[in-house]
Amino acid sequence: MADNSKRKVTIEEAKLAGGKKYREKVKKVLVEYEQLPDEKKHQIHLYYGYGKGKTTAAMGLAFRALGAGKNVAIVEFDKGFDQTKEHYFERRIFFKLKELGYPIEINSSGCERMNEDGTFRFKNAEEDFEEAKRALEIVKVLIQNGKQDVLILDEFVAAVNYHLIQEQDVFDIIDLYNKNRRFELIMTGHKLFEGLEERVDLITEMKKVKHYFDKGIQARKGIEY
């Protein structure tokens, strides 16, 4: 008997071949999603972990949303800019896109962490706490009155780990969002804390399996920042 499993077929034939139950299931899911009220269509994402890629994933989502014609707002915690030394070069692209008319809004908060000798300042100063508080207020305004379709809170959960804000601040923001679920909410950070997993809809862990940092390769311009 001839084996027709490897016979070349046209696109139209391929569309009709097999998977009938799967296609019916997908169609049902699509119909059910469209019937959901708007507030249930939007989800909370959390990208966390000690591996590389949290901010990269969030910013990639921002580019995708802009490409789809959506409005994007970003609030960065503890990623200040002293107007002379840029440490997060993705901002340059977003600023350029804004100049070109793309609907992107970026709000950066935080004080300079890099010392003049190239080392990093870990200890929090009073100004760091003030900047975190300012960022929280920006987030509240955006949740209540912003026109964004996607809101990215970069290093928001990490700000808890750095003791710049409290766990309750994160829960308060989620509660406020749940009263204003008209856009997608994205958060990044290093680790979960009790009660957070139950409050979000999607969690992706960036887990370090291997990192060249361990063999002395430092953060590099255009790759890590």
For 91-105, the pLDDT digits (tens) are 889 999 999 999 999
Does some domain include residue 108?
yes
Does some domain include residue 11?
no
Please tell me the distance from the alpha carbon of residue 200 to that of residue 156, in angstroms, as a whole number.
Answer: 14
What single-letter amino acid sits at 198? Answer: E
- Within its chain, how far is the Cα of 2 from the centroid? 52
Does some domain include residue 58?
yes
In the predicted model, is pLDDT for residue 57 greater than 90?
yes
Does some domain include residue 135?
yes
Does some domain include residue 114?
yes
Give yes or no for a contact between 193 and 165, defined as CB atoms under 8 angstroms apart: no
Does some domain include residue 14?
no
Does some domain include residue 70?
yes
In the predicted model, is pLDDT for residue 23 greater than 70?
yes
Please tell me the distance from the alpha carbon of residue 208 to that of residue 224, in angstroms, as a whole number.
Answer: 14
Give yes or no for a contact between 53 and 46, defined as CB atoms under 8 angstroms apart: no
Length of the chain, in residues: 225
Structure tokens at 81: 């800019």
In the predicted model, is pLDDT for residue 4 greater than 60?
no
CB atoms within 10 A of CB 64: 12
Over residues 210-225, the pLDDT tens digits come to 988 888 888 887 787 7
Residue 58's domain spans which residues?
41-215
What single-letter amino acid sits at 35? Answer: Q
Q: In Å, how far are 107, 144, 150, 172 from 40, measured between CA atoms?
A: 27, 17, 15, 19
Overall domain count for the chain:
1
Which CATH number goes with the domain that contains 153?
3.40.50.300
In the predicted model, is pLDDT for residue 3 greater than 60?
no
The SS3 call for residue 110 is: coil
Range with the lowest mean pLDDT among 53-62, 106-115, 145-154?
106-115
Does some domain include residue 18?
no
In the predicted model, is pLDDT for residue 87 greater than 60?
yes
